[in-house]
Amino acid sequence: MKQESPIFSPKIRSAFKKYSFEQFIKDLSAGFIVAIIALPLSIALAIASNVPPERGIYTAIIAGFLASVFGGSRVLISGPSASFMVIVFGVVNSHGLEGMFIVTVMAGLFLVLFGLLRLGNVIKIIPYPIVTGFTSGIAVIIFTSQIKDFFGMTTGALPPEFIGKWTAYFKGIPTVDGPTLAVGVVALAIMLIWPRINAKIPGAFIALIITSVVVKLWLKDVPTIGSAFSDLPSSFAPIHFPVITVDKIQALAAPALAIAFLASMETLLSAVVSDGMIGDRHHSNTELIAQGIANIGAGLFGGLPATGAMARSAANIKNGGRTPLAGIFHAVVLLIVLLFLMPLAKLIPLTALAAVLIIVSYNMSEWRSFRSLLKSPKSDVIVLLLTFLMTVFVDLVMAIQIGMLVATLLFMKRMSDVSNVRVRKMSLEAGLENAYDESEEDSDVIDEQWPSVKKKVDHVVIYEISGPFFFGAADKFLSAMENMGKKTRVLIIKMKHVPSMDATALHAFSKIVRLCRKKSVRLLLTGVQEQPLAAMKNSGLLEHIGEENIFAGLGDAIDYVQENIPGCKPKDKNV
């Protein structure tokens, strides 16, 4: 019997076997490069989430360090994510920074619970149209949220709704600031062109340096982090235990669960891609627990929610990072920046940070995947568009709930289509070889080829169930049973092709058992597989059916009927 893998098995335990000084240098270099990528992104995401910029750096340091130490992947890098930006923005608006701390800790607790319940492999099978529709919707929201800073508009506070924002933007066109827009365009151009010059050093880092120098020397009126946030601490935040009440838990449970779901989905998808890049295998449940620990830590130190991030992880891999030490180095570099270089962050133009997030939104949009999914079956297109539109125009949490609900309903419809109940009648005078299918499309052929069969075999009926037998197929089963003839003495249900049953199917079966008893019909089952048999046993249904009425195959059941049921012995098997 295969031994079950442990729930919590951090990769750091085995990462340093045969570790060399050469790999140490590669991990150190990769950690430094990833920190350069994470720095502007962490600041930009914090500001876009309506929190002070240092909170993003706190998140990258704490979550990056804890996730690397306890994680189930060798190369995954964790930190703040654009996926949470809209949720965090809403939480901060309604409940302040204290609400953000609470929701981050609660999301961490949910993630730990997901891991302990071994949900890692379950989360990875979220339907692809939901993932694409959701991430594309978030990309549109992120892009929309950066228009004001990118163009330097003075529109005042923006409404939270998507349409309301764009209405405000059109009204605010006369307030567009030319120098601010020019700096934003330069930052955007640098990020698009720089990778062709040097792929090692991130284009965002170069764009922020150049635009900061330009604004400092020549365009002093362009808004910067310093003009928006006058007090930027150069110290690490002390640990803070938020005051958690029942009312706050009730108010923040939904966004916390949404963040946990998104974090687990993004983390595990990133881990799968990272595995393919280095030829390794991550531990899903360990990674969920690690992300939970990282979020709890980030929340206690005043940070945002965090997740494993694909862009930072890919940069880690491409620059030679192969152990969790690279993620630890990345956190240490960010800590050094926070302690010694934070005053320089005040010089960064807000329009340049908006340009960084515009690039992030483009990379998140997955427009090629979105376009290709539009050619998929109609059910997948419905889920894709519904999730996308709900994300953009309604609410992120609602988008996930509705997307999953519709995907589940459509899946059930597909499964009920492939689950089939067929009626088969057998001529006992001629033996088993003359069993046939009775269906609407071939009933005329049956009448022509076996004109006398129906008159002879009404006392034995065979039903065959094909496919998973669950609530989507139970109604078909009961409908077919209603056609059981009055002269039926034996009912045989063939279950060789039924891999599983659920509670609704068991309930339908119990109805058939009672019906057979009422009509004095002998019920026999054949080819019952392991899961349906266990389900019948656990529910007590097996006692009512009787183990003696379960046979390995249809032939065994037929032999039993012919030899033991009065009036069913064949007159001549050779007829």
Beta-carbon count within 10 A of 557 CB: 24
121 and 230 together in one domain = yes
Average pLDDT of the segment spanning 354-363:
91
Q: Where does the pLDDT of residue 1 fall: very low under 50, low under 70, confident under 90, or very high at 90 and above? A: very low
Per-residue pLDDT at 423: 52
Q: What is the 3 state secondary structure string of 276-328?
A: HHHCCCCCHHHHHHHHHHHHHHHHHCCCCCEEEEHHHHHHHHHCCCCCHHHHH
Per-residue pLDDT at 480: 67
Q: CATH number of the domain that 505 lies in?
A: 3.30.750.24
Q: Where does the pLDDT of residue 418 fall: very low under 50, low under 70, confident under 90, or very high at 90 and above? A: low
Q: Report which of residues 195 and 445 the model is more confident about.
A: 195
Residue 230 has pLDDT above 50, yes or no: yes
Which residues neighbour 149 within 8 Å (Cβ) at sequence distance 6 or greater?
Answer: 184, 223, 350, 351, 353, 354
Q: Are 92 and 100 in contact (CB under 8 A)?
A: yes
In a domain, 3, yes or no: no
101 and 184 together in one domain = yes
Six-digit token pair at 365? 């949009």
Which of 337, 312, 397, 298 has its CA nearest to residue 86? 397
**Buried b or exposed e, range 166-204, using 16+ CB within 10 angstroms:** eebbeebeeeebebbbbbbebbbebbeebeeeeeeebbb
In a domain, 575, yes or no: no
In a domain, 2, yes or no: no
In a domain, 215, yes or no: yes
Residue 432 has pLDDT above 80, yes or no: no
Which residues neighbour 325 within 8 Å (Cβ) at sequence distance 6 or greater?
Answer: 15, 16, 24, 27, 28, 31, 68
Q: Of 395, 418, 441, at which residue does a domain stop? A: 418
395 and 501 together in one domain = no
Q: What is the pLDDT of residues 280-326, one digit of tens each?
A: 888 999 999 999 999 999 999 999 999 998 889 988 998 899 999 99
First CA to last CA across the chain, in angstroms? 50
In a domain, 46, yes or no: yes
Q: Where does the pLDDT of residue 331 fall: very low under 50, low under 70, confident under 90, or very high at 90 and above? A: very high
Burial of 40 (0-12, 13-18, 19+ CB in 10 A): buried
In a domain, 160, yes or no: yes
407 and 485 together in one domain = no
272 and 404 together in one domain = no
Q: Are 392 and 377 in contact (CB under 8 A)?
A: no
404 and 426 together in one domain = no
Q: Where does the pLDDT of residue 435 fall: very low under 50, low under 70, confident under 90, or very high at 90 and above? A: very low
Q: What is the pLDDT of residues 497-514, one digit of tens each?
A: 888 888 877 888 888 888
Q: How many CA atoms lie within 13 A of 242 on its CB side?
A: 25
Dihedral sign from CA coordinates of 254, 260, 261, 262:
positive
In a domain, 212, yes or no: yes
Q: Are 274 and 242 in contact (CB under 8 A)?
A: no
285 and 307 together in one domain = yes
Rounded to 5 degrees, φ, ψ at 556 are -65, -40
In a domain, 5, yes or no: no
Per-residue pLDDT at 183: 96
Average pLDDT of the segment spanning 141-165:
89
Per-residue pLDDT at 417: 67
Q: What is the pLDDT of residues 239-266, one digit of tens each?
A: 988 888 899 999 999 999 989 988 998 8
230 and 347 together in one domain = yes
Q: How many domains does the chain have?
A: 3
- pTM given for the model: 0.75
**Helix orientation angle between 378-393 and 128-145, rounded to the nearest 10 degrees:** 30
Q: Report which of residues 57 and 432 the model is more confident about.
A: 57
364 and 473 together in one domain = no
Residue 354 has pLDDT above 70, yes or no: yes
Residue 440 has pLDDT above 60, yes or no: no
Per-residue pLDDT at 458: 53
CA distance 59 to 100: 12
Q: Are 122 and 87 in contact (CB under 8 A)?
A: no
Q: Report which of residues 151 and 402 the model is more confident about.
A: 151
Per-residue pLDDT at 124: 67
Q: Of 399-403, 438-442, 532-536, give the lowest mean pLDDT range.
A: 438-442
Residue 160 has pLDDT above 70, yes or no: yes
Q: Domain limits at 489?
A: 419-564
Q: What is the 3 state secondary structure string of 480-501?
A: HHCCCCCCCCEEEEEEEECCCE
SS3 524: strand
Q: What does pLDDT average to over the chain?
A: 84
427 and 401 together in one domain = no
Per-residue pLDDT at 508: 82
Structure-derived torsion over alpha carbons of residues 430, 433, 435, 437, reported in degrees to the nearest 10: -140
359 and 410 together in one domain = no
| Residue indicated by tokens 């090692």 | 200
346 and 356 together in one domain = yes
Query: Could you tell me how far CA 59 lies from the centroid of its own chain?
Result: 22
